[in-house]
Structure 1
Amino acid sequence: MSSDEISIRVEGLGKRYEIYSSPRERLKQFILPPIQRVIGRDVVAHYKEHWALRDISFEIKKGEAFGIVGRNGSGKSTLLQIITGTLAPTVGNVTTKGRIAALLELGSGFNPEFSGRENVYLNAMLLGMTREQVDERFDKIAAFADIGDYLEQPVKTYSSGMLVRLAFAVQVQIDPDILIVDEALAVGDALFQKRCFARIEKLLSDGVTLLFVSHDQESVRTLTHRAILLRGGQEVLTGSSSEVLLSYRKLLHEEESSYFSRLAPKQTTASNGSKKPAASNSANKGTSLPGRSDNLSFGDGGIEVTAVQTFDADGETCAVFYPGDPVKIRVRCHSIITTDRINVSIRIRSREGIKIYSWGTLNQDMQVLNGALGGEVFWTREIQENEDFDVWFECSCTLGPNLYEIQAAISYEGKPDYTEQRILHWKDEAAFFQTLMRQNEYAFGGMTDLRMKAMW
């Protein structure tokens, strides 16, 4: 790849911190090593090394949207600080091309004693704009921030949401070549977030490079093309956003299973004296699901999604639907344990990776248990060892024309309210279907049909 096409290049990046047990050890480290070198003795370190980042390498093309995901403490913010130049790496190199606008920490670059107006000028001029350029764009900045009379008040009186409004408004008006956003938008209200994402999409269409950090997986999936997953300061995977997010969900599941395995008993015993394997213990046993794809699924095991298919109103397999058509989805499962408290669910995503809908047997059970609906409760049904069973989901097609993915999941629910959930098997790309539209019969715009009516 030509170097002219690269906006950000990170090569062998590492950041090391020296951790001292006491001020005395820090003083020893300052005084003793030079003396030891002079007299020819081996140098003794009086600190412990902590690598916040180690051996990180990737390239981001101009105009590309790139995501960084990982748990708290994985090194995301450290990486962004090094890329923006506010932190020096211990090893490795970072090369950037163009003006960088970074929204890293709330209030960074603002003087709390200055008013919002004064901070706009201060922040914008620190980012390379002249006073005349700020004058020209001030009205746009103020309109985007939309904080009213607070613009004339000291920043120390602002809420966190107001701070990020003002900071983002300044950053996007300096015509950046690279925009870096680190979780700051999470403190904004829904309307402001919508406005920010619309502005980010406009910048991307203008060829701006985006480096985006968020714990909101749907935002990362929607906004970015590629991503990197960090764990303990090291790279786990770099690839398409969908691949990285699936690995991230697997990582979260593994760590959650490890946590609960230390808390949960190794077995629960049924009242008849027979031992009933609890879903929460399958991680302890190292249960694996035979024949499952490690690339597209994960879970503690015990019950497996073996097949997912879509059918029409006549019960025939069908993968193309029109508005108003009945849709039937069959999830076929196989159990190798005896247990109850099971939830079988599906999630529907568009071709763009946007979650359209998610629903499961527990959603219906909750209605039955609350008296809003009649019928049996699936959650209390006991699934037998070596049992094969089907769960059918039925609805009327209300989706706009697109290609849709069905994800299927089986979970153990300690309580019938989704508060104690353990994933036994999650399967991406379990099935696909397409929706089309007969324009001369019935048509609508958008992702879903609200069945709207007009009256006059």
Structure 2
Amino acid sequence: MYYKELRMEEQEYKVQVEHISKSYRMYENQIDRVKEAFSIRKRSYHTDFSALTDVSFKVRGGEILGIVGKNGSGKSTLLKIITGVLTPTSGIVTVKGRISSLLELGTGFNMEYSGIENIYFYCTIMGLENDEINARLNDIIAFADIGEHIHQPVKTYSSGMFARLAFACAINVDPDVLIVDEILSVGDIKFQAKSFNKFREFKERGVTIIYVGHDLGVVRNFCDRAIWMNNGKIIDDGEPLYITAKYTEFMYTGESDIIDSFETQEGKIKDRSTVIKEAVKTDTPISHWGTFMGLIKDTKVLDDEGKELMYTDIFQPFHVRITFEGREDLNYKNLSVAISIKNQEGTDILVCTTADIDMTFEAGASEYVVDFRVDHRLAKGEYVLVVAIEDRENASTSYYEYIEGAKYIKNYAPDTIYGLFLPHYDVTVNKI
């Protein structure tokens, strides 16, 4: 058995993954499999495929870990090993408490049973007694919120209805560890909001959550920590803002040397405020990449008189002035200049692009100066300025140059601004 009991000094960790590897034998056809099985000389007819290679990490109680990586990077295989669905080729997984998982639609459900019957079926598998299931039944039904469909066979459910029922069951078995794959992406906005509120409640109760998804905004805003996987290995482990920035750079550029330059940050993970502060102190970007590095020559944040701002004010518009080099090999017809103001969690608060206002560029200049005047009305806080030169010829935007952290903006505003920014609005009242 590859699970083991936690020693007393390790009680603070709910999940420990130690040097896990998983390999498969790959055969070109079934005949080769038979030939190998009956080979007198023990001849090999297979090749080995490593889905995971020497993966190690620990997750504390109440910690929310996000795992990112492109398709085929080993994320789902890893989660299946943690939950016990798969056995590793080597290594040890240590888990404290009850695991509840949402890995794939249909896991732990009988397609012929009704929703009610599957609630009992799933909860029984999870070790609950009948009286415990009865006590939770109304909460599960209410959270799933699928109406009279709860009495119909689940094989008739849409993917969204299935996700609702699966999630409602998973969270109502009092898990110590909750593992969630991308199943939540099939739910509607209301369901997703309700689900993430439940995650926050679990975090306060000390439940460990491992979340896998391609929505980097969710990982940045929701997770305490992130792991980036590629080709079955952990590339980096650290603060979500930093990890997702580097992962985005890799996905857009496909540069393998980005991975080669990484040093695993296990044991020295920083919080997002520290990442921002260190970037501000050294005046360096969080991430900087693109196909035409060095195209952007200068970025300034200015007031209306052209004076460079050290800080901004909620009622003071500012200018973001970007100077970039004119080159003959740029696709001027589809070129766009973009800026984004992000908060410290990496969420886009304001985004402005020249493409959105149908501004075009013509070749022939040695330099171009683009000035965005932004009436931002940002709430009090510290913000990250992103500047980018884009090529929008295709549906998927590509980047000549992308700088996340071209400047860092400290904005002052009254504490009574409760949203992310103060919109301009008018109010009318009619007496009837």
Shorter-chain TM range is 0.7 to 0.9
Deviations 1:49-77 (A, max 9, x none): 11111121111122111111111111110
Give the aligned residue type for 2:421: T
2:33 partner amino acid: R
Alpha-carbon displacement from aligned partner over 1:297-331 (angstroms, at most 9, x marks no partner): 11111652233222223322224333332121122
Residue 338 of structure 1, CA deviation:
4.5
TM-score (norm 2): 0.86
Confirm or deny that 1:10 pairs with 2:7: no
Size of the alignment, in residue pairs?
394
Q: Distance in 1 between matches of 2:30 and 2:401?
A: 50
Larger CA deviation: 103-112 vs 388-397:
388-397
- Paired position in structure 2 for 1:448: 421
Please report how far the alpha carbon of residue 92 of structure 1 lies from its aligned counterpart in structure 2 after TM superposition: 1.4
Single out whichever of 220-229 and 332-341 deviates more from structure 2.
332-341
Q: 1:295 to 1:157 in 2, by over 3 A?
A: same
Q: Which residue of 2 aligns with 1:354?
A: 347
* Secondary structure class of the residue paired with 1:24: helix
Decide whether the 8 Å contact of 1:69 with 1:213 is kept in 2.
yes
CA contact (8 A) 2:286 2:405 kept: no
Specify the alignment match of 1:412 in structure 2. Answer: 391
Indicate whether 1:317 and 2:332 are aligned. Answer: no
Aligned partner of 1:159 in structure 2 is 158
1:67-216 equivalent positions in 2, closer than 5 A: 67-216=66-215
Q: Is 2:274 the counterpart of 1:298?
A: no
Contact 1:303 1:336 in 2 (8 A): no
Taking a change above 3 Å as real, the CA distance of residues 55 and 437 of structure 1, as seen in their structure-2 partners, is same
Shift of 1:256: 9.4
Which of these two proteins has the greater Rg computed from alpha carbons? 1
Whether the 8 Å CA contact 1:302–1:337 is kept in 2: the answer is no
Give how far 1:411 is off: 1.7
> Structure 1: which amino acid aligns with 2:418?
G
Q: 1:30 aligns with which of 14, 27, 37?
A: 37
Residue 345 of structure 1 aligns to a residue whose secondary structure is strand
* Residue number in structure 1 paired with 2:4: none
Question: 1:78 is paired with a residue of what secondary structure?
Answer: helix
**343-352 or 1-10, larger mean C-alpha shift:** 1-10
Structure 1 residues 120 and 402, CA gap change in structure 2 (3 angstroms): same
- SS of match in other structure, 2:150: helix
Separation of aligned partners in 2, 1:83 and 1:312: 54
Deviation at 1:420, TM superposition (A): 5.3
> Is 1:321–1:397's contact at 8 Å kept on the other side of the alignment?
no
CA deviations 1:229-286 (Å, max 9, x no partner) are: 11121222222112221221122112399xxxxxxxxxxxxxxxxxxxxxxxxxxxxx
CA contact (8 A) 1:10 1:95 kept: yes
What is aligned with 1:422?
A: 398
User: Alignment identity in percent?
Assistant: 34
- Report the CA distance between 1:159 and its aligned residue: 0.4
Q: Find the aligned partners of 1:364 and 1:108 in 2 and give their Cα distance.
A: 48
Does the CA-based 8 Å contact 2:326-2:363 persist in structure 1?
no
Amino acid across the alignment from 1:209: T
Contact between 2:21 and 2:89, CA under 8 Å: does it hold in 1? yes
- Other structure's SS at 1:21 match: coil
Tell me the CA shift for residue 214 of structure 1.
0.4
Match in the other structure for 2:378: 399
Structure 1 residue 141, shift from structure 2 partner = 1.0
Q: Take 2:46 and 2:178, find their aligned partners in 1: how far apart are those partners?
A: 37
Deviation per CA, 1:146-201, whole angstroms, max 9, x where unpaired? 00000111111100000000010111112211111100000001111111111111
Which residue identity does 1:410 align to in structure 2?
I
Deviates more, 1:142-151 or 1:17-26: 17-26
Structure 1 residue 293 displacement after superposition? 6.8
3-state SS of paired residue (1:227): strand
Task: Give the 3 Å change call, closer, same or farther, for CA 294–314 of structure 1 in structure 2.
Answer: closer
- Tell me the equivalent position of 1:372: none
Cα deviations by residue, 1:339-393 (Å, 9 ceiling, x for unpaired):
323211111111222221222111111xxxxxxxxxxx33x32164xx3332111
In structure 2, the partner of 1:381 is 362
Query: Aligned partners of 1:246, 1:75: CA distance in 2, in Å?
Result: 20
Shift, 1:203, TM fit: 0.9
> How far, CA to CA, are the matches of 1:2 and 1:305 in structure 2?
52
Q: Is the contact made by 1:302 and 1:335 (CA closer than 8 Å) also made in structure 2?
A: no
The aligned amino acid for 2:47 is K
SS at match of 1:300: coil
Please state whether the residue corresponding to 2:25 is helix, strand or coil: strand
**Residue 50 (structure 1) aligned with residue 49 (structure 2):** yes
Decide whether the 8 Å contact of 2:123 with 2:169 is kept in 1: yes
CA distance in 1, matches of 2:9, 2:377: 46
Give the distance between the partners of 2:351 and 2:255, measured in 1 at CA: 22
Amino acid of the structure 2 residue aligned with 1:65: I
Aligned to 1:242: 241
Structure 2 unaligned regions, length at least 5: 1-7, 257-282
> Cα offset for 1:104?
0.3
Query: Following the alignment from structure 1 to structure 2, what is the Cα–Cα distance between the partners of residues 337 and 205?
Result: 56
Moved more, 316-325 or 89-98: 316-325
Distance in 1 of aligned mates of 2:307 and 2:141? 58
* Counterpart residue number, 1:280: none
Which runs of 5 or more structure 1 residues have no equivalent in the other structure?
Answer: 37-42, 258-291, 366-376
Distance 1:57 1:82, change over 3 A: same
1:436 aligns with 2:429: no
Q: What do residues 4-37 of structure 1 show as CA deviations (whole Å, max 9, x unaligned)?
A: 22221112211111111122211122222xx44x
- Whether the 8 Å CA contact 2:80–2:86 is kept in 1: the answer is yes
Q: 1:2 to 1:429 in 2, by over 3 A?
A: farther
